[in-house]
Structure 1
Amino acid sequence: MKNLIAISSFLTLLLPYTSSEFSTEDCWALGFNKANLLCSSCDQLPKYNLDDLVTHCRECCHPDESGTAEKIYHKAVLEVCTCKFGAYPQIQAFIKSHRPSLFPNLQIRYVRGLDPIIKLYDKDGHLQETVAIEKWNTDSVEEFLNTHLVKIKDDDYLRTNMV
């Protein structure tokens, strides 16, 4: 009888945790960043045979904004310090590849001591948003720019540096 009471007490203590979301600390301990995790990301886990993580992911995620169109910007500036290329090899690979030439409205600026960021500007040149990209790979950077930059067809070989 004492065991039954102990088990029921234990389950009563766990009930608030099973019926509510995990705290930020709980999510961090599970490997999720609650502040940045969108629920649509949880849907991607089964593709990588991570079905066991879906339940915990759902407890840590924020619903995606539905019905909102992606914001489109007229100019982007990727800022990074060359001294930190060793810490961010994917960003270095993106910068040294042909990919930046695909975006005539992308500028690369080297700023001493700065972790990699992308600054996004409106058509009047006013800064609208800054995005930290230190954990991104080359494909993520390219996909982000494809999604959020105005498409410019630029055949001027002098502007694109292509001879």
Structure 2
Amino acid sequence: MAAQKIAVAIVILTVYLADSSLADFSTEDCASLGFIKANLLCSSCDQLKDFSLDQLVEHCKQCCHNDDSTPNEKKYARAILEVCTCKFPAYPQIQAFVKSDRPAKFPNLQIKYLRGLDPIIKLLDKDGIVRDTVAIEKWNTDSVEEFLNTHLVKEEEEDRGFLKTNLI
């Protein structure tokens, strides 16, 4: 009877550990582990092994964003770059992007100035619902532009989809 209880306990524990190992951690969970989920790329997790930090890799993988350059990148209808002008001296690259002609290349990009906020990009679906938020305080102007080119739907793509649905 005792052996049967132990066997059941082992099965329950195994199922629990399997479920928890497959689940991504929340932003708060990652922060408590020392990871900033919004900035963490999975390729960084692989580098932990180079520093004999193998025990951190599993948790790191549950907090990271996939940075593979696959053609299946998720596209968003709109983006909002939120920044505080009072923090421009701390983020000169973000200031350079905002004040340049680069934002004009993205008609579905809105720039919002919010007091005291570190620079972030909010990605929205076609219904205007925020689906992802990315911290960009360490990015340079080229990184911001490349990110927007990768993740924002281009106007032509939207127009083509509309035309295809109205074909006779």
**2:104 is matched with which residue: 79, 83, 101?**
101
Check 1:65–1:116 CA distance in 2 against 1; reply closer, same or farther (3 A cut).
closer
The amino acid that maps onto 1:122 is D
Q: Distance in 2 between matches of 1:106 and 1:133?
A: 15
**2:143 is matched with which residue: 136, 140, 154?**
140
The amino acid that maps onto 1:39 is S
Structure with the largest fraction of helix? 2
**Is this contact kept in 2: 1:85–1:91, CA < 8 A?**
yes
**Is this contact kept in 2: 1:42–1:57, CA < 8 A?**
no
- Is 1:90 equivalent to 2:93 in the alignment? yes
CA deviation vs aligned residue, 1:132-161 (integer Å, no higher than 9, x gap): 1111111111111011000114xxxxxxxx
Check 1:118–1:65 CA distance in 2 against 1; reply closer, same or farther (3 A cut).
closer
Q: Distance in 1 between matches of 2:99 and 2:45?
A: 29
SS at structure 2 position matched to 1:85: helix
**Is this contact kept in 1: 2:73–2:151, CA < 8 A?**
yes
% identical equivalent positions: 61
Q: Distance in 2 between matches of 1:57 and 1:125?
A: 44
**2:115 is matched with which residue: 81, 93, 112?**
112
CA deviation vs aligned residue, 1:100-131 (integer Å, no higher than 9, x gap): 01100001011111110111110011111111
**Is this contact kept in 1: 2:42–2:67, CA < 8 A?**
no
Q: Distance in 2 between matches of 1:99 and 1:57?
A: 41
- Work out the number of aligned pairs and report it: 115
Q: Distance in 2 between matches of 1:146 and 1:58?
A: 34
Q: Distance in 2 between matches of 1:39 and 1:120?
A: 22
CA deviation vs aligned residue, 1:47-99 (integer Å, no higher than 9, x gap): xxxxxx98239945649587792111000000101000000000000011111
Q: Distance in 1 between matches of 2:92 and 2:80?
A: 19
- For structure 2, the 5+ residue unaligned runs are 1-29, 157-168
Q: In structure 2, what is the equivalent of residue 125 of structure 1?
A: 128
Query: Superposed, which structure 2 residues align to 1:1-163 within 5 Å?
Result: 36-39=40-43, 55-56=50-51, 59=54, 60=57, 62=61, 64=66, 69-153=72-156
Given the two structures, how large is their TM-score scaled by the length of structure 2? 0.57
- For structure 1, the 5+ residue unaligned runs are 1-23, 44-52, 154-163
**Is this contact kept in 2: 1:39–1:57, CA < 8 A?**
no
Given the two structures, how large is their TM-score scaled by the length of structure 1? 0.58
The amino acid that maps onto 1:38 is C
Q: Distance in 2 between matches of 1:118 and 1:140?
A: 12
